[in-house]
Structure 1
Amino acid sequence: RVATFHTLRQLVQSLPGCLAEHASAVVPGLDKALKDGQSNNLRIEALAFLQLALEAHAPRVFQPHAGALLPVVLALVNDRYYKTAAEALRVCSGFVKVLRPSPPAEEFDFRPHLPALFSTVKARLVGQDQDHEVKESAITCIGLIICHFGDACSSELSSTLPLLLERLRNEITRVTAVKAFAALATSKVDTGFNSSLPGSSGTVLQAVVAELASFLRKSNRPLRQASLSALEVILRAHGSQLAQGDFDGVLLEMPPLVSEGDLHMAHLALLLATTAVKTNAAATVPTLAEKLQAKALSLLQSALLQGQPLRSLLAYFSALVAADAPELNFAVLTAQLLACAGGGGATSLSRHSLEGVSSAMAACCSAAPHPPQRAAMVSSFLGELSSSTPLSRRVLALFCLGEIGAKNDLASVSGLVDSIMGSFASASEEEKTAASFALGSIAAGNLPHYLPHLLKEVGSSKHEYLMLYAVKEMLSRSGQPDLAGFAQQMLPPLFAFSERDEEGVRNVAAECLGKLAAVALDVVIPALEERLTHGNAFARSVAVNSIRFVIAEESTGASLSAASINTFLRALDDSDLKVRRGALLALNCVAHNRPAALRDSLPELLPLLYAETAKNPALVHQVDLGPFKHTVDDGLELRKAAFECMDTLLDSGLERLPPGPLPP
């Protein structure tokens, strides 16, 4: 019987909802197992199955059986064996979601079951001498009950919420209690959060916020993490009910959390600060300006800042600008950002940090409450591009113009493109790269206006390589609907670059073609397939290499069909080394990201792959260096790529890997 419930559990895990039509047949055996007092293992396995079944099926499946199953489960909540009691409490949590899945709606009559459910779980919550697992399960369950049934058991809240608050103050149970209060804050029914706390002059909400704020200085990282998340949810839902002192208590604990030492914690702290600004700017911005702003600006300059922490920091700056509080308005914040980048002279910031500062400047300009503020900032940066300005300021101005232009349409700014392209003549490679970045980013902000000029310059400008990098930047930042309509116009210049001798140029062309194909498959893929038979080996290798970038960009658009993928992978039998190596890299990419697309073509591709693992004497030659001779194997990189591809295929979990004959 234990094995049967274990098998049923595995079945439900693999096929959620599979027992929807068989619940009536399962319930009698389940009821019998739960009442079997001879075997704790059987009852625990039955409870584990029931808990999973409740989660994996629609509420209507088990609602008719609540009357039969719930009393038995509630009896097991009081079982002396702690594992049985804890598992029963988890099943009660599942029943809460079944009885009222979408509060405040009442799709099912849950009221006959609520008194026994509430009293039984509350009794476990009150108990002191019990296992830690039981305590945590009881806290979680009572929190869910209040979230779903708070309006139906309002008379119990005045005695239950102080109990939860006690568990919040207990070192052993406080992490679980923090999560319970976070859930209460998001409830759509009245949970008594704003009710008066017995024995206190404040509310339950204020007591919880004060307690959570004190946890932010604790050394326990999971506790700090849970507290930050809970505070963000509470401020978003109930921030209007908090006083100045409540906000100060939270914000004063946050500065140590905003550092590069723990970027995830910094991300959560910045999310909380952003929510605080949006909730009550007048009560929070003065404190943030005094206590947190220096830490935020220091974090912005970190070489480690990227991804979600960077996005949270930019959202924080945007919220400050939108709030337009005098302590940290647009003018104050942009001046601070320019000071970070050494706006008055030389700067020691890295390229990564400059990009961060320019992104922050763009976030401020995008959120500026008055459009003339953004226009004035763009004009200021445009003026910085004159040759008399120090190099560091010109580079910063180019990065800022690029970031601002990517998020805002700058087509109305006269002379913008000409000024940026003027930087292409600079003696500094850093400035030329920044200008290429700026031009591509600005073009992404208004494709119809800038793209024709960009394509014209790609074909005729003496700075064609910088223009190619600008096209790459534009493709990286443009959205799918905007870009797809221009795909046909962009193919000729990109195909021209794909035949150049410089490998770096061809690699950029392949990336551009891949990004373009990801948003315009019907236009680009047939053109790339035609290039597979081109007489120029460079053109064929670029066409094959572009597939890797199509696969990488598939999350933003339509997926490449397996048939098309296999068309490109057949380039494994090409006569040119570069084309075959590109096909091997593409095969490796597909095996890693889309292994299912290879199932039908593996019998054809594997012999070609195995053939590349053998050393080809024709590719080995000697180079005479005068005093000595050096042996060079042109096929070494090809063999490395082949073995890496085989390793990826073995890790991919494909069930059909026919063991073809390996070369000796």
Structure 2
Amino acid sequence: RGTFTAVKDLNTSSTTETSLLFSLCLSFQINLSSILPETLSVLGSFLRKNQRALKLATLACLTALVTHHAASIKPAALEPVLSELPALVDESDMHVSQVSVTLLTCMTRACPSSLAKISSSVLPGVFRLVHSPLLQGAALAAILDFLQALVLSKTSNLGYSQLLKSLTDPFHSAQSSDTSIIHRQSYQSVARCVAALSSSCPKETPATVSSLLQEAKNPGSPESARVLALLCLGEVGRSGSLGGSKEVQGVILEAISSTNDEVKTAASCALGSMAVGSLNDYLPFLLKEISSQPRRQYLLLHSLKEVISACPASSLSAHVESIWALLFQNCECQEEGTRNLVAECLGKLTLVNAAQLLPRLKQQLRDGSPLTRSTVVTAVKFTIVDQPAPIDSLLKDCIGDFLKTLQDEDLNVRRVSLVMFNSAAHNKPSLIRGLLATVLPHLYKETQIRKDLIREVEMGPFKHTVDDGLDVRKAAFECMYTLLDSCLEGLDVLHFLDHVEEGLKDHYDIRMLTFLMLGRLASLCPAAVLQRLDRLIEPLKATCTTKVKAGSVKQEFEKQEELRRSAMRAVAALLAVPEVERSPSMADFANQIRTNADMASIYQSVQGGDGGGLGPAEGMDMS
């Protein structure tokens, strides 16, 4: 009687609490068979209401009902619910979609006979979701679970081949010259779905693999279909369903040699996935190809990176030595992109057995060439992750040795050392806090412009100035910016400001960064900023008043305008510092901005158009 009353209450209320009250009833395994039809109808009506919390609570309630009372539910009773689900399965709300698909999965397993009509109602929405660029994570996992349940339900017109066709048809109808209509993420999602169907129907796998191989190697197929076929092969292989097929290896190598970049990238991804699923079958093959195919090396290293990243340490341990040796054979490659990839593989491999491999990385600093040293230091960057990791204590003991490369004679080694330091300061500041007194003098040294690194290059009738030290300076200033957030207490702020002041007069990229730093410092260390205010105003004023030369290209005008806007944001931050009105130079500059229509307009725009952040003394009326 009490349960019947609860249903009546549900029918006259639209609150989340009533839905939750009914969920509570479910937990006591109450016999609800007499009221289920009315209850399902009422709950179905709740799904139409424009209250997100109520929808989610109702979906949870329905899921519990279907799970615990399936034997009492007749297919017709679920129609009021099924008719509302198509509107809920939409990329505009991924969480509601996920919970809706989870309910569909429960219906599929508990009441498969209720699904006769979903192929024309709910299913199109599910497939649109699969092809959405927004699908990932828990929502994708819910769809994979649903498709597996659906194919195992043996529901008429919803079998393996029909589902496979619905998933892949959009990729076959796409024109080879217009793959942009299909988002990159949807390729991965569909490949995961195909692999999920295959794993649920292992008898179908050989025919599916054969069809995918034919598609992948057919040059007449649309690019989108070939890319999808390769990615599907990779995901099917990730589950270990391919073995060490020579035909598969041949198709993948042929695709990696394609002139089509999308096909090559998909083949590289597929090979990595296959090796994750069948390490003993594919890893020796992969290592052999990396050694013998220098033109394919970059793509094959991407495959290897996937193997190292995705395989558990226990599986990789037997292969560490062969991978390590191969990587060091390629760490002096002249191509920086390839060296960075080697470094990333080395860093991730070191995480497999840090106690053994970290000392070996350190040894290479003494024995290696400049290219080897830069690769090793970059590898250390990839051992620094933002979550606690077993390597942390070992890294803390030896990171100082790697940071000695800030004094290396090679410019590029110093640059990558700064990048590594920045990564540590950002992700694990505890690793470097105790080393600041030693490191900062070398970091600050790299912020200085070196005339011996500036040269002129003739380009036809023109001479172009090249600053070989710019990238190193940028890396140094990026470190300084990071330290403001992670290690402020370890900085001598006045000394820090000396170098910020120099950066305000440097190259465009560095000035943009120092304007940001100045804004942060005005907020974090106002007293120190006030002490240096007169020296900081001049370079800001110079930027704000600079005019682009007549006849300059559009990009030059845009760059200068962005510089002026960034400088003005820094000025606005300085004007917010307490007692800034005591500075005569700031009062003069504020007055100059107020009386100059151009600068006043910029100031107003960076303040949101309201003239906020009023200037010294009597304020700045920007009207």
Q: Taking structure 1 as reference, are residues 191 and 321 closer, same or farther at Cα in structure 2, changes over 3 Å only?
A: closer
What is the correspondence of 1:86-97 to structure 2 with a 5 Å cutoff? none
How far did residue 402 of structure 1 move?
A: 0.9
Which residue among 232, 238, 251 is the counterpart of 1:419? 251
**Separation (CA, whole Å) in 1 of partners of 2:274 and 2:479:** 39
TM-score normalised according to structure 1 size: 0.67
Over 3 Å counting, the alpha-carbon distance change for 1:566 and 1:219 in structure 2 is farther
Q: Using a 3 Å threshold, how does the CA distance of structure 1 residues 233 and 579 change in structure 2: closer, same or farther?
A: farther
1:286-323, CA deviations, whole angstroms, 9 ceiling, x for partnerless residues?
A: 23323111111122222333333223222222222233
> Match of 2:431, SS?
helix
- Tell me, in whole angstroms, the C-alpha distance in 1 between the residues paired with 2:416 and 2:25: 55
Is the CA contact 2:290–2:300 (under 8 Å) kept in the aligned structure 1?
Answer: yes
- 1:214-613 pair list within 5 angstroms: 214-283=45-114, 285-342=115-172, 346=176, 348=179, 349-368=182-201, 371-387=202-218, 389-392=220-223, 393-411=225-243, 413-462=245-294, 463-552=296-385, 559=392, 561=394, 562-613=396-447
1:241-284 superposed Cα distances (whole Å, 9 cap, x missing partner): 4332343222221112222222233222222222322333232x
List runs of 5+ in structure 1 lacking aligned partners. Answer: 1-157
1:2-51 deviation line (CA, Å, top 9, x unaligned): xxxxxxxxxxxxxxxxxxxxxxxxxxxxxxxxxxxxxxxxxxxxxxxxxx
Q: Could you tell me the TM-score, scaled by structure 2's length?
A: 0.71
CA offset at residue 541 of structure 1?
1.8
1:282 counterpart letter in structure 2: S
Gaps of 5+ in 2: 500-623
Return closer, same or farther for 1:559/1:167 CA change in 2, 3 Å cut-off.
Answer: farther
1:622 and 2:456 are equivalent in the alignment: yes
Alignment of 1:170 with 2:13, yes or no, is yes
Q: How does 1:122-137 map to 2 (within 5 A)?
A: none
Report SS of the residue matched to 1:485: helix
**Change in 2 beyond 3 A, CA 1:234/1:516:** farther
Aligned-partner Cα distance in 1 for 2:373–2:450? 22
CA distance in 1, matches of 2:2, 2:168: 54
Give the aligned residue type for 2:195.
Answer: A
Aligned to 1:29: none
Say if 2:386 and 2:427, in contact at 8 Å, map to a contact too.
no
How many pairs were matched up? 492
Distance 2:171 2:200 in 1: 20
- The aligned amino acid for 2:403 is L
Does the Cα contact within 8 Å between 1:248 and 1:287 map onto a contact in 2? no
| CA–CA distance in structure 2, aligned partners of residues 229 and 570 of structure 1 | 57
Question: Which string of whole-angstrom CA distances, capped at 9 and with x for unpartnered residues, describes residues 515-573 of structure 1?
Answer: 22222323432222222234422222222222333234867876563224444334333
Q: Which residue matches 1:95? A: none
For structure 1, which segment, 476-485 or 494-503, has the greater mean C-alpha deviation from structure 2 after superposition? Answer: 476-485
In the aligned structure 2, how far is the partner of 1:227 from the partner of 1:557?
43
Shift of 1:454: 1.3
- Shift of the 164–277 alpha-carbon distance from structure 1 to 2, 3 Å rule, reads closer
Contact 1:341–1:357 (CA<8 Å) still a contact in 2?
Answer: no
- CA distance in structure 2 between the partners assigned to 1:426 and 1:588 by the alignment: 38
Q: Is the 8 A contact 1:297 1:340 kept in 2?
A: no
C-alpha distance 373-534 of structure 1, shift in aligned 2 (>3 A): same
User: RMSD across aligned C-alpha pairs, in angstroms?
Assistant: 3.1
Question: Residues of 2 paired with 1:564 and 1:341: CA distance?
Answer: 51
Mapped partners of 1:179, 1:555: distance in 2: 38
Equivalent-residue separation in structure 2 for 1:212 and 1:649 (angstroms): 54
User: In the alignment, is the contact (CA less than 8 A) between 1:565 and 1:597 conserved in 2?
Assistant: yes
Q: Could you tell me how far 1:489 is from its partner in structure 2?
A: 0.9
Q: CA deviation at 1:401?
A: 0.7
Change (3 A) 1:311 1:300: same
Give the corresponding residue for 1:651: 485
Q: Deviations over 1:70-114 (max 9, x none)?
A: xxxxxxxxxxxxxxxxxxxxxxxxxxxxxxxxxxxxxxxxxxxxx
Percent of paired sites with the same residue: 36
